Amino acid sequence: GNSVTQMEGPVTLSEEAFLTINCTYTATGYPSLFWYVQYPGEGLQLLLKATKADDKGSNKGFEATYRKETTSFHLEKGSVQVSDSAVYFCALRNNAGNMLTFGGGTRLMVKP
């Protein structure tokens, strides 16, 4: 079956630090990969996506590259801000259907 594994949080960084949140997956076929962000008390917002191997998704300074050889989709940002504090979810959707499989989420806390 499909599964997504994320690094456990919380991840605590100082403002302007470099961010990496690891995500690895197990899936049949060739899934599409997504990162969602959830701010306190809100729903999930799509942050970025990649639909095939070697694609790079990017948005708001965040990037993630679809690595089929390592089955990974790590989220990176060169310089985090306090406003980036949130929970980040990695997810996949495979071509056997339209279900999303989520990782457990990683809480990011950025301190001034």
Partner 1 sequence: DGGITQSPKYLFRKEGQNVTLSCEQNLNHDAMYWYRQDPGQGLRLIYYSQIVNDFQKGDIAEGYSVSREKKESFPLTVTSAQKNPTAFYLCASSDGRDKYNQPQHFGDGTRLSIL
Q: Site residues (CB under 8 A) for partner 1?
A: 31-32, 34, 36, 41-46, 49, 51, 89, 93-95, 97-100, 102-105, 107
Q: Which residues does residue 26 pair with via DSSP β-bridges, in sequence order?
A: 3
Q: Which residues pair with 72 in a beta bridge?
A: 24, 67
Shortest distance (Å) from residue 102 CB to partner 1:
5
What are the start-end ranges of the E strands in 9-69?
A: 11-14, 19-21, 23-26, 32-38, 44-50, 56-59, 62-65
Tell me how far, at minimum, the Cβ of 25 lies from partner 1, in Å: 14
Q: Rounded to an integer, what distance in angstroms lies between the CA atom of residue 93 and that of residue 108? A: 24
Smallest separation (angstroms) from partner 1 to the CB of 37: 11
Task: Kindly tell me which of 46 and 82 has the beta carbon lying closer to partner 1.
Answer: 46
Beta carbon nearer to partner 1, 17 or 101: 101
CA atoms within 13 A on the CB side of 69: 1
Rounded to whole angstroms, the Cα distance separating 44 from 12 reads: 21
Nearer to partner 1, 44 or 75 (CB): 44
Which of residues 77 and 103 has its CB atom nearest to partner 1 in the complex?
103
Q: Minimum distance from CB of 18 to partner 1 (Å)?
A: 25
